[in-house]
Structure 1
Amino acid sequence: MTRALIVIDVQESFRARPIWATTSDLKIADQVNRLVRLFRQAGELVVWVLHAEPGTGGAFDPALGHVRLMEELERADGEPLIHKSSHNAFTTTDLQQLLTERDIRELTVCGIRTEQCVETTARIASDLGYQVTFVIDATATNPIPHRDAPADQSVAELLADPRTLPAEEVIRRTEYALAGRFATIATVEHLEAAAGPQT
């Protein structure tokens, strides 16, 4: 076992926010489950990551009960579950130690949000020497407001603002930024085909 799947922030916190309705893939858990099954059948490690912001009173504050995996996800007994408080899955966790102890050298990453925690994790992992595969269609994100947009902008205002960057464009730009530099870009279907028939 030299590979690991890192599932980043596919958690109920996102569904607790009004902006969830604008998410690029509302059924991201289905794509993630396909990857999880693929890695399990190959005997590879699956690591689950949750983002937590204790004391903030927001959707990522564990006290509110949303910092948990989306209910559709299929976590198996014994699969590591770590909590982070930074954008990447390494800085505030023992992820690197966990991977080093298991001699993991290749990482496949997926999750929410494409350009934020998943991309940042991919970049850090690459700098740490891991071979990274970024499964673009097993990530999801939302439209991004312009830097000059008001902080209290409603979802309707966000969508109406011509300066807003659409989620599809965010994903496209992330793919361009990572490919050939920090990660190999793949799709769930591509990885399933490469693995061959599954039992």
Structure 2
Amino acid sequence: MDLDDTIALIVIDVQQGFDDADYWGERDNPDAEANIGRLVTAWADASAPIVLVRHDSREPGSPLAAGTPGNALKPVVADAPHDLFVTKNVNSAFYGAPDLHAWLGERGIRRLVVCGIQTNQCVETTARMAGNLGYDVVLPIDATHTFDLEGPGGVRLAAADLARATAVNLHGGGFATVTTTDDVLAA
């Protein structure tokens, strides 16, 4: 993949508050942050566009609430050069401020590489919306992570199962090409 000003890296919610295991529970993919760092470094070295996204939670007691230590970005991205910083309080980066879709459109960017936290929440939602908006979306699944989650009737899914479901939903559903960090960097 030739990195230039026509392909943006969208880094979603890589925040300190996601390290709170008491709040979130078991996570998958301990290599996610390292892979995110590799992508950020490659984009920065190529002077290609980087968008950082931060979730400013409005949920009472959330470790991602604005003004709390958990709202801060993790060191792997905290000092990363970036072209746009989006804040949001919902799952999709396309419903944040400033307007991501408008910013991408003004620059003629039609290809996105999406990574970050949580695989099956904000990452998947942003990738789905990007696909619906006509972007060519690439998702290196190993540059994401998520947590075990309980659904209706007490059904509990492990984080790794949720990540696999996201990969199938996005790739099989035509929203994104799901791949690995190595493949993105080697392409």
**TM-score, normalised with respect to structure 2:** 0.88
Partner of 1:73, secondary structure, is helix
Deviations 1:110-165 (A, max 9, x none): 1111111000000100111110001100010011113233xxxxxxxxxxxxx311
State the Cα distance separating 1:15 from its structure 2 match.
1.3
User: In the alignment, what sits opposite 1:68?
Assistant: 72
Once residues 153 and 56 of structure 2 are traced to their aligned partners in structure 1, the CA distance between those partners, rounded to angstroms, is 27
Look up the equivalent residue of 2:157 and give its one-letter code. Answer: L
Distance 1:170 1:52, change over 3 A: same
State the Cα distance separating 1:21 from its structure 2 match.
5.5
Once residues 131 and 78 of structure 1 are traced to their aligned partners in structure 2, the CA distance between those partners, rounded to angstroms, is 21
Once residues 78 and 48 of structure 1 are traced to their aligned partners in structure 2, the CA distance between those partners, rounded to angstroms, is 7
State the Cα distance separating 1:76 from its structure 2 match.
3.2
User: In the alignment, what sits opposite 1:179?
Assistant: 171
Sequence identity of aligned pairs in percent? 37
User: In the alignment, what sits opposite 1:81?
Assistant: 85
Distance 1:85 1:77, change over 3 A: same
Once residues 58 and 110 of structure 2 are traced to their aligned partners in structure 1, the CA distance between those partners, rounded to angstroms, is 32
User: In the alignment, what sits opposite 1:193?
Assistant: 186
- Return 38-47 or 98-107, whichever deviates more: 38-47
Aligned residues: 181
- 2:107 is aligned, of 78, 93, 102, to 102
Once residues 190 and 58 of structure 1 are traced to their aligned partners in structure 2, the CA distance between those partners, rounded to angstroms, is 35
Once residues 135 and 148 of structure 1 are traced to their aligned partners in structure 2, the CA distance between those partners, rounded to angstroms, is 32
Once residues 111 and 76 of structure 1 are traced to their aligned partners in structure 2, the CA distance between those partners, rounded to angstroms, is 14
Once residues 136 and 77 of structure 2 are traced to their aligned partners in structure 1, the CA distance between those partners, rounded to angstroms, is 25
Look up the equivalent residue of 2:112 and give its one-letter code. Answer: L
Look up the equivalent residue of 2:108 and give its one-letter code. Answer: D
1:147 aligns with 2:139: no
**What do you get for the CA RMSD once the two structures are aligned?**
1.8
- The structure whose residues are more often helix, as a share, is 2
State the Cα distance separating 1:38 from its structure 2 match.
1.6
Alignment gaps of 5+ in structure 2: none
Distance 1:136 1:77, change over 3 A: closer
Contact 2:40 2:80 in 1 (8 A): no
Contact 1:33 1:74 in 2 (8 A): no
Runs (4 or more) in structure 1 with deviation over 6 Å come to none
Contact 2:91 2:125 in 1 (8 A): yes
- Specify the structure having the higher radius of gyration (Cα): 1
State the Cα distance separating 1:61 from its structure 2 match.
1.3
Contact 1:49 1:89 in 2 (8 A): yes
- Return 13-22 or 90-99, whichever deviates more: 13-22
Deviations 1:31-85 (A, max 9, x none): 1010111222233101100101247342121132321111233533453221111
